[in-house]
Amino acid sequence: MKYLYRIYQLLIALPLGLVATVLTVLAVVIGCSLGNGHFWGYYPGRWWSKVILWLLLIPVKVEGRGNMERGQSYVFVANHQGAFDIFLIYGHLGRNFKWMMKQSLRKLPLVGWACAKSHQIFVNKHGVSNIKKTYDAARSTLQGGTSVTVFPEGSRTFTGHMGQFKKGAFALADELQLPVVPLTINGSFDILPRMRDGHFVTWHRLKLTIHQPIYPTGQGPDNIQATTSQAYDAVMSSLEGKYQGYVENPDQ
């Protein structure tokens, strides 16, 4: 079955996925250029993510959608198991949001262009002025009523285990007094860990757990620390047993 699945990926899923990617990029770029970026910056990417998972025959289970309130802006924070985290969250979270992503992703062919046109938030840590621009963009997004999604580990895991959570997203939530929603991703590391980028994917189920929002109980360093700890514990609580426990990521 493994080799049949690889042949299917090569002859069917890959060509159709490339077509879907090109069409999605064109829809985002043209749509955002004409106006209504709130729609075109989110829905084509959502449909694209669903199509990619459907083409690869990967089943998805989502728990906890009822924990989110309609019309509420959130700072979503998730563990970062692998590339398929993007498809899982974008396709199945069910909430319009902007990504906070590494500046280097802007250079990705096609996808980076679409991300820039749809005003995703690129995190540039080189210099105080660039850091300020990143937070200004995130603040503007949240104040405008849209949520943001962050991988607070900063990079994909090498082991499937979680690394430390950096505090940037939690500081932003604290400043704007917004709730943080922890997300637990299971299965992405088993499908395609970062050490196998560019290789065939392995069939595995994906699961997204949407935890209860963590509302601010104050403002300042104590609230940031408390929210960070609560979010980390919530994400960890729903990880598969084999990935439980902290393991340091060498590039954190």
Element (H, E) at 90: helix 84-92
CA distance 193 to 160: 8
What are residue 173's phi and psi, to 5 degrees?
Answer: -60, -40
pLDDT surpassing 90 at residue 120? no
Q: 66 versus 111: which is more confidently predicted?
A: 66
Confidence of residue 125 (pLDDT cuts 50, 70, 90): low
Confidence of residue 130 (pLDDT cuts 50, 70, 90): low
Q: Average the pLDDT over 94-104 and give the result.
A: 84
Q: Please list the residues that pair with 147 across neighbouring strands.
A: 97
pLDDT, position 126: 60
Collapsed DSSP state (helix, strand, coil) of residue 179: coil
Query: How would you classify the pairing of strands 60-63 and 121-123?
Result: unpaired
pLDDT surpassing 80 at residue 2? yes
Q: What's the pTM?
A: 0.91
Q: Average the pLDDT over 179-193 and give the result.
A: 96
Average pLDDT of the chain is 89
pLDDT surpassing 60 at residue 248? yes
